[in-house]
């Protein structure tokens, strides 16, 4: 983004009442982090860091993102701070590799997101924006601005033909999130049940079809019907404004915690889990269910 545009954005913040002095420590810390990365990748730097590429970093980046989620879900405030730092380090890492290849710099990454967030929040940053929308109205406006951006990008690339609602949906997401976003995109253009009742009826239909495939011992059909059932359950979650990925992670945490309780109780009795009877495990499981769960954050995220 041109420097003059950055100055305009910053000046707009100043005019909007934001104290730029409050951001100076952040800028200094970011410069220090960028300096560390430059040294790590420099001639006298770390051999491992110098060998890395965008592709080699991806598995580590995904792991760091999940560690951020883990810290949030388990309420580890100090852990969240540390994990966010690790994730930020990856942003700097990717940007440094890009700069070395002559593609873009960390500054351009920051400037790009500043411009995007300013453009997508006209009710906050635009002059004479008028009355601020209600919180539930913001996602719809956000999506409309995104559609305008995608249309402009297609024109700039000289692409013809109609745009698809799925153009900005990443199929490399986890299957639950991919299904969730596909359904939400279709719902935004009217291809949707009016309420959750339709989804619940479809769940019953898919369960019957899955049971039939199981009775026939048709593995391919079972796989297909199970996929259809999961897809429909995601739709039910969406209608109830629940993020299915978060809901499943919460339930997995809950069941894992209960089994850890069983392991602990058996250890206290000098017994290994593998040697316990099914009756013992079931009794301890019921005991574990009476303990409070701390993983109930299943609400839907507001946007992409």
DSSP states of 165-189 as a string? TTTT--TTS-HHHHHHHHHHHHHHT
Q: Tell me the mean pLDDT in the region 99-125.
A: 91
Bridge partners (DSSP) listed for residue 242: 299
Give dist(CA 124, CA 16) in Å, integer: 9
pLDDT band with cut points at 50, 70 and 90 for residue 22: low
Give me the residue label for tokens 């008028």: 130
**How many CA within 13 A on the CB side of residue 85?**
10
Predicted TM-score (pTM) of the model is: 0.65
pLDDT band with cut points at 50, 70 and 90 for residue 14: very low
Highest mean pLDDT (candidates 4-18, 93-107, 141-155): 93-107
- Which tokens belong to 117? 């967030």
pLDDT band with cut points at 50, 70 and 90 for residue 128: low
Q: Do residues 20 and 127 lie in contact, with contact meaning Cβ atoms separated by under 8 Å? A: no
Does 3-126 match 175-239 in CATH topology? yes
Q: What pLDDT shows up at residue 156? A: 76
Instruction: Estimate to the nearest angstrom the gap between the alpha carbon of 146 and the chain centroid.
Output: 18
Which of 44-58, 62-76, 113-127 is least confident? 113-127
Residue 244, phi then psi, degrees to nearest 5: -65, -30
Q: What pLDDT shows up at residue 8? A: 52
Residue 92, phi then psi, degrees to nearest 5: -65, -40
Q: Tell me the mean pLDDT in the region 141-161.
A: 74
Superfamily classification of domain 175-239: MazG-like (1.10.287.1080)
Which of 53-67, 86-100, 146-160, 261-275 is least confident? 146-160
Highest mean pLDDT (candidates 155-169, 268-282, 288-302): 268-282
User: Is the domain 3-126 a CATH 3.40.50.720 member?
Assistant: no
Q: Tell me the mean pLDDT in the region 185-195.
A: 92
The angle that helices 24-40 and 106-119 make with each other, rounded to 10 degrees, is 140
Residues 54-111: tens digit of each pLDDT: 999 999 999 999 999 999 988 999 999 999 999 999 999 999 999 999 999 999 999 9
Domain ranges of the chain: 3-126, 175-239, 244-289
Question: Is the model's pLDDT at 240 over the cut of 80?
Answer: yes
């Amino acid at each position: 983004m041109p420097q003059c545009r950055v100055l305009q954005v910053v000046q707009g913040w100043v005019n909007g009442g934001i104290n730029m002095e409050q951001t100076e420590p952040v800028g200094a810390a970011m410069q220090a982090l960028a300096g560390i990365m430059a040294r790590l990748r420099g001639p006298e730097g770390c051999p491992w860091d110098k060998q890395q590429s965008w592709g080699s970093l991806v598995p580590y980046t995904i792991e760091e993102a999940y560690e951020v989620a883990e810290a949030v879900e388990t309420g580890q405030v100090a852990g969240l701070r540390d994990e966010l730092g690790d994730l930020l380090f990856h942003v700097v890492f990717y940007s440094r590799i890009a700069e070395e290849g002559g593609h873009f710099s960390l500054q351009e990454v920051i400037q790009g997101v500043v411009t995007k967030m300013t453009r997508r929040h006209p009710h906050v940053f635009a002059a004479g924006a008028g009355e601020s929308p209600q919180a539930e109205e913001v996602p719809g406006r956000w999506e409309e601005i995104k559609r305008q951006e995608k249309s402009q990008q297609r024109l700039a690339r000289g692409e013809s033909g109609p745009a698809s609602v799925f153009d900005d949906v990443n199929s490399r997401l986890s299957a639950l999130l991919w299904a969730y976003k596909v359904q939400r995109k279709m719902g935004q253009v009217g291809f949707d049940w009016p309420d959750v009742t339709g989804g619940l009826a479809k769940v019953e239909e898919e369960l019957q079809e899955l049971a039939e495939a199981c009775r026939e011992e048709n593995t391919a059909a079972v796989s297909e019907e199970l996929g259809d059932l999961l897809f429909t359950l995601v739709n039910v979650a969406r209608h109830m404004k629940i993020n299915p990925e978060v809901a499943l992670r919460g339930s997995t945490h809950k069941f894992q915690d209960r089994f850890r309780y069983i392991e602990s109780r058996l250890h206290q009795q000098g017994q290994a889990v593998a040697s316990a009877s099914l009756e013992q495990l079931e009794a301890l499981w019921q005991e574990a269910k009476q303990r409070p769960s701390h993983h109930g954050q299943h609400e839907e995220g507001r946007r992409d």
